[in-house]
Homo-oligomer: A and B are copies of this chain.
Amino acid sequence: MSENTIPYKIYLTEDEIPRQWYNLRADMKEKPAPLLNPGTGQPLTAEEMSGIFCEELVRQELDNNTAYYDIPEDIRNFYKMYRPAPLVRAYCLEKALGTPAKIYYKFEGNNTSGSHKLNSAIAQAYYAKKQGLKGVTTETGAGQWGTALSMACAYLGLDCKVYMVKVSYEQKPFRREVMRTYGASVTPSPSDTTNVGRKILAEFPDTTGSLGCAISEAVEVAVSNPGYRYVLGSVLNQVLLHQSIIGLEAKAALDKYGVKPDIIIGCAGGGSNLGGLIAPFMGEKLRGENDYRIIAVEPASCPSFTRGTFAYDFCDTGMICPLAKMYTLGSSFIPSANHAGGLRFHGMSSILSQLYHDGYMEAVSVEQSSVFEAAEQFARVEGILPAPESSHAIRAAIDEALRCKETGEEKTILFGLTGTGYFDLVAYQLFNDGTMTDVIPTDEDIAKSVAALPKVPGQG
């Protein structure tokens, strides 16, 4: 089909929504390292996991070999409420940049949770329901994951308990109200509803909470209440499996028009979006069928790929979760509170970490003021107000397109537009007022938190 017949938005039909998720691990020669029990230093067994996660999700977490998982019919029906997500040809952005590059973005923000998180939330809630559980618990910081999980649970009639970092609970009342509208109970953390919460409150009565603390409370509630399990929105292998729907749809849409991307770009916090977007493309690259430049974009304030260490570390700042091998800044690393986006995680998905370590992808870090410049430029011509997280990918995509303008190359760029910024307007206001600043950790900051990495057999 000729170039000029490509519409602004490519929608698959509902029948073309993928019927299977793709498990990237099946095509990796070097598999991601297993999660370790922090007490024993040994790989976590399915039995150990099953008190925390529901059974099917444990299976998915541990399975490095099955390439495709059928998507259950009920999940596909839920997907039909907001999928297929459009693949957009950014004609207006290309024109504004004056670039010969062809830019596409996969837009995951057209649902009330405002991001791609819903893709895994419905899957995790579905398996919990199927196992006959009463409900699930989780933590949320900015609130996108909590919102997505609330929506999934409301749909399935499953109880949903969200522990929301107290400072976010107070400063982001709107996210909280969306979750409540979807029937979730939202508790500011630390709270007096758990042992760990009471202990922290006794010691630090004025604390505004942390993600580490909220995780601890959510896990405690899950393991101490029959019929509950804990769920997590990023980092885990199972999450990347569910999020492969992003890349599978994007690839199917491009294939319809015979388009092959040269460069694939995604923002990277814990890796849920990037891992999902690149999955089928990376699969081809691993199998030697096709080559793509794949670029992870992270904030300069929290640069786990570009300045971190590939090592076993805790996934949470509270150091109660299993150890994962990943690029990490150290679980004690606290990114600047100044940073507006949600890409504040100190570590990175083990799958993506292994792929980066093995040279299958690149990473760049970008400063937030330049990220918001890109966000504004994008919003004005493409009509979508992007989330700060997504805008990291926009920044990198614009930079690549401008390089094409210099060289005259007509490269095809695909990036992930993970969500909308409707709940991030405090950050936009800082940018509009010209008072946004960039804070980048020093080498000493990073060295200090990396020095505190846990001792694990085979790790210095």
Q: Cβ of A422 and Cβ of B422 under 8 Å apart?
A: yes
As for how many copies of this chain the complex holds, the number is 2
A80: chain B residues at CB < 8 Å are 7-9
The complex places the Cα of A7 from the Cα of B155 at a distance, in Å, of: 19
A292: chain B residues at CB < 8 Å are none
With A7-B14, A9-B14, A14-B8 as known contacts, state yes or no: A82 contacts B383, CB within 8 Å: yes
Contacts of A166-194 to chain B: CB distance below 8 A: 173-174, 177-178, 180-183
Closest partner residue, chain B, to A432 (CB atom): B180
Q: Cβ of B8 and Cβ of A81 under 8 Å apart?
A: yes
A30 to chain B, nearest CB (A): 39
Q: Cβ of B181 and Cβ of A112 under 8 Å apart?
A: no
Q: Cβ of A381 and Cβ of B420 under 8 Å apart?
A: no
Q: Does A127 contact B (CB under 8 A)?
A: no
A50: chain B residues at CB < 8 Å are none
Q: Does A163 contact B (CB under 8 A)?
A: no
The complex places the Cα of A112 from the Cα of B384 at a distance, in Å, of: 5
Q: Cβ of A13 and Cβ of B7 under 8 Å apart?
A: yes
Closest partner residue, chain B, to A179 (CB atom): B432
**Range for the number of chain A residues in contact with chain B:** 35 or more
A306 to chain B, nearest CB (A): 28
Q: Which of A51-59, A97-105, A256-264, A423-431 is near enough to bind chain B?
A: A423-431
A196 to chain B, nearest CB (A): 27
A77: chain B residues at CB < 8 Å are 8
Q: Does A382 contact B (CB under 8 A)?
A: yes
Q: Cβ of A428 and Cβ of B7 under 8 Å apart?
A: no
A180: chain B residues at CB < 8 Å are 428-429, 432
Q: Cβ of B177 and Cβ of A428 under 8 Å apart?
A: yes
Report which A residues bind B (CB closer than 8 A): 7-9, 11, 13-14, 77-78, 80-82, 92, 110-112, 114, 151, 154-155, 173-174, 177-178, 180-183, 376, 379-385, 420, 422-423, 425, 428-429, 431-432
Q: Give the 6 A-B residue pairs with the shortest CB-CB distance, closest first.
A: A174-B425, A8-B80, A154-B380, A177-B425, A7-B14, A81-B383
| 26 interchain pairs, CB-CB under 8 A | A7-B13, A7-B14, A9-B14, A9-B80, A11-B11, A110-B110, A112-B384, A112-B422, A154-B381, A155-B381, A155-B383, A173-B425, A173-B429, A177-B428, A177-B432, A178-B385, A178-B422, A178-B428, A180-B429, A180-B432, A181-B376, A181-B379, A181-B380, A181-B428, A182-B379, A183-B380
Q: A180-B429, A181-B431 are in contact. List 14 more A-B contacts (CB 8 A).
A: A8-B14, A11-B11, A82-B383, A112-B379, A112-B384, A112-B420, A114-B422, A173-B425, A174-B422, A174-B425, A177-B429, A180-B428, A181-B376, A182-B380
